[in-house]
Amino acid sequence: MTLHLQRDLEAVKSQLLDMGSLVEKVSNQAITALQERNTDLSAGVHELDLTIDQQEVKIEEECLKILALHQPVATDLRFVVCVMKVNNDLERMGDLAINIAERASYLSSHEPLGVPLDFHRMAELAREMVKESLSALLNLDTDLARKVLAKDDEVDEINRQMFEILEEIMLKDPTTIRRAIHLLSASRHLERIADLATNIAEDVVFLVEGEVIRHLPEDYNRT
Amino acid sequence: MTLHLQRDLEAVKSQLLDMGSLVEKVSNQAITALQERNTDLSAGVHELDLTIDQQEVKIEEECLKILALHQPVATDLRFVVCVMKVNNDLERMGDLAINIAERASYLSSHEPLGVPLDFHRMAELAREMVKESLSALLNLDTDLARKVLAKDDEVDEINRQMFEILEEIMLKDPTTIRRAIHLLSASRHLERIADLATNIAEDVVFLVEGEVIRHLPEDYNRT
């Protein structure tokens, strides 16, 4: 690898880390808005999302520049392509966080449902998964990537529980339906953020081990 | 462009078209399963999805090979990167179709709700959007790409109407809640298939005109 290529790869890694921090920030803000019924926080996420969108375009341009200038092959080529995919996934996470914030905004202006929903644990897991999947990519750490895959199962389980709790309350009291549907959506969006982190982790395993695990049965290769 | 590069680009274009046909097939099957309450059709989609997953891996490998072998620059480079993104979007559409088929499978084994839901029009629009966005990419046709963007608004509107109709029926009769939520999900998944076609169309405009429209306000550049 030439020194110039190495330098440019380091630069794009650092930009991707920044992008990851932005996504983490916007997700945290959306979840806090949801949990604390804070409309100011909901409104603030849009500005962050703009920055994420700009960062996505910048990283993609950087990757194209690296491909055109250095014409990397083998592992370096795969790494750059992987960064482009991850960049795209991170941007989608930002969009999902915006959706959560919009649900939070609706819910803040209506009576709380007063049911125990474990958004806290779900958000904590999603946050860890985003952080760890990025770290796995930047350090080519497949053990960490596989930890991310295992966490996704817990997120799916919490999402399923949310569905049951919310269905029950809707059945008991139909006036809760609209709010419950907004909460269901927020839960599903959070679950999709975790899914996207799972995509990243799968891409890391593929990058390092050349093994496509993203289309294997769910219980395969997760430990 | 060398003749070899041109030949390989044509090959990958044709693979992408096949992928598009597969996605169209699986989406049609899922929607028909939903509309006709046909459990056999629901079950059949999983096999198609496996083929889509394999095709995705194949196309990505082809693109990596083109990048490594021919080290394309400028428009050719952007085109190959765009194919990789579109390939990814198509695979996600396949996953969404599977989700719709799963909802269809649940709904087929329960009493129909008997409300008028315009899945037919929504599916038709989504189908056109997928077809046209791919055709726009392969012919670098930005007029067609912009038509796709305009159609997305209609899909969003139908999705919104579904929500209202389903909310109303849940309010009237809480025993419909679970089925209504499955229908809501199917509608949302279809709307996301259309969204992914929109992504493709935006990428085409960017590829041809170098203009990033994917992060502009919704009413910009849609005509």
Domain boundaries, chain B: 3-209
Dist. CA B174–CA B163, nearest whole Å: 15
Tokens of A124: 């904590």
Nearest Cα of chain A lies from the Cα of B182 at a distance, in angstroms, of: 11
B54 to chain A: which residues are within 8 Å by CB? 215
- Which residues does chain A have within 8 Å of residue B78's beta carbon, measured at their own beta carbons? 64
- As a whole number of angstroms, the distance between CA B133 and CA B203 comes to 9
Q: Are A90 and A60 in contact (CB under 8 A)?
A: no
Tell me: domain B3-209, CATH 1.20.58.220, correct? yes
**How far is it, in rounded angstroms, from Cα A114 to Cα A116?**
7
Q: Is B71 on the interface with A (CB under 8 A)?
A: yes
Spatial neighbors of B63 by CB under 8 A, at least 6 apart, are A81, B12, B80, B81, B83, B84, B87
Query: Which pLDDT value is given to residue A149?
Result: 96
C-alpha to C-alpha distance for A115 and B179, rounded to whole angstroms = 22
- B64 CA to chain A: closest CA distance, Å? 7
Find tokens 């630069």 and name the residue. A11
Q: Taking 60 as the threshold, does the pLDDT of residue A95 lie above it?
A: yes
Tens of pLDDT, residues A15-33? 999 999 999 999 999 999 9
d(CA A45, CA A28): 10
Tens-digit pLDDT profile for residues B116-135 = 888 999 999 999 999 999 99
Do residues A90 and A20 make contact, with C-beta atoms less than 8 angstroms apart? yes
Question: Considering CB atoms only, which of B77, B88, B178 is closest to A67?
Answer: B77
**Distance (Å, rounded) from C-alpha B50 to C-alpha A6?**
38
Inspect the interface and report whether the beta carbons of B167 and A177 lie closer than 8 Å: yes
Judged by CB atoms closer than 8 Å, whether chains meet at B85 and A81 is answered as: no
* Residue B91: closest C-alpha in chain A: A215
B100 touches B186 (CB < 8 A): yes
Query: Distance (Å, rounded) from C-alpha A89 to C-alpha A38?
Result: 27
Question: What single-letter amino acid sits at B179?
Answer: R
Q: What does the pLDDT look like over A54-86, one tens digit per residue?
A: 999 999 999 999 999 999 998 999 999 999 999
Dihedral pair phi/psi, residue A91, rounded to 5°: -65, -40
Inspect the interface and report whether the beta carbons of A77 and B68 lie closer than 8 Å.
Answer: yes
**For residue A40, is pLDDT > 90?**
no
A71 touches chain B (CB under 8 A): yes
Lowest mean pLDDT among A1-5, A165-169, A205-209, B92-96: A1-5
Residue in the block written with tokens 């596989």: A146
The letter for the amino acid at B110 is H
Q: Percent of chain A beyond pLDDT 70?
A: 94
Assess whether pLDDT exceeds 90 at residue A44: no
Cα–Cα separations (whole angstroms), residue A48 to A21, A52, A54, A91, A146 = 11, 6, 10, 11, 30
**Whether pLDDT at A111 is above 80:** yes
**pLDDT exceeds cutoff 70 at A212:** no
* Structure tokens given for A40: 């100011």
DSSP summary character for residue B140:
T
**Cβ neighbours of A57 in B, within 8 Å:** 212, 215
Residue of A nearest to B171 (CA): A174
- pLDDT at position B126, please? 94
Which parts of chain B sit beneath pLDDT 70?
A: 1, 211-223
Distance in angstroms (rounded) separating the CA atoms of residues B134 and B5: 21
CA A168 to chain CA centroid, Å, is 29
Which amino acid would we find at residue A182? H
Query: Which sign does the torsion angle of CA A164, B120, B47, A150 carry?
Result: negative
Determine the pLDDT at residue B223: 43
pLDDT band of A223, cuts 50, 70, 90: very low
Q: How far apart are CA B12 and CA A177, in angstroms?
A: 48
Percentage of chain A beyond pLDDT 90 is: 86
> Which residues contact residue B21 at a Cβ distance below 8 angstroms, ignoring those fewer than 6 apart?
none
ipTM over 0.85: yes
H or E stretch covering A136? helix A119-138
Q: Does B51 touch chain A (CB under 8 A)?
A: no
Determine contact: A174 vs chain B, CB below 8 A. Answer: yes
Residue A219 has pLDDT above 60, yes or no: no
- The pLDDT score that the predictor gives to residue B220 is 54
Are B8 and B24 spatial neighbours (Cβ–Cβ below 8 Å)? no
Question: Under the phi-then-psi rule, with left for phi > 0, alpha for psi from -120 to 50, and beta for the rest, what region is B173?
Answer: beta
Q: Is residue B61 within 8 Å of B157, Cβ to Cβ? A: no
* A164 has a chain B CB within 8 A of its CB: no
Q: Are A33 and A182 in contact (CB under 8 A)?
A: no
Q: Which of B71, B74, B88 sits opposite A85 (nearest CB)?
A: B88
Q: Which of B74, B81, B163 sits opposite A84 (nearest CB)?
A: B81
Grade residue A185 by pLDDT with cuts at 50, 70 and 90: very high
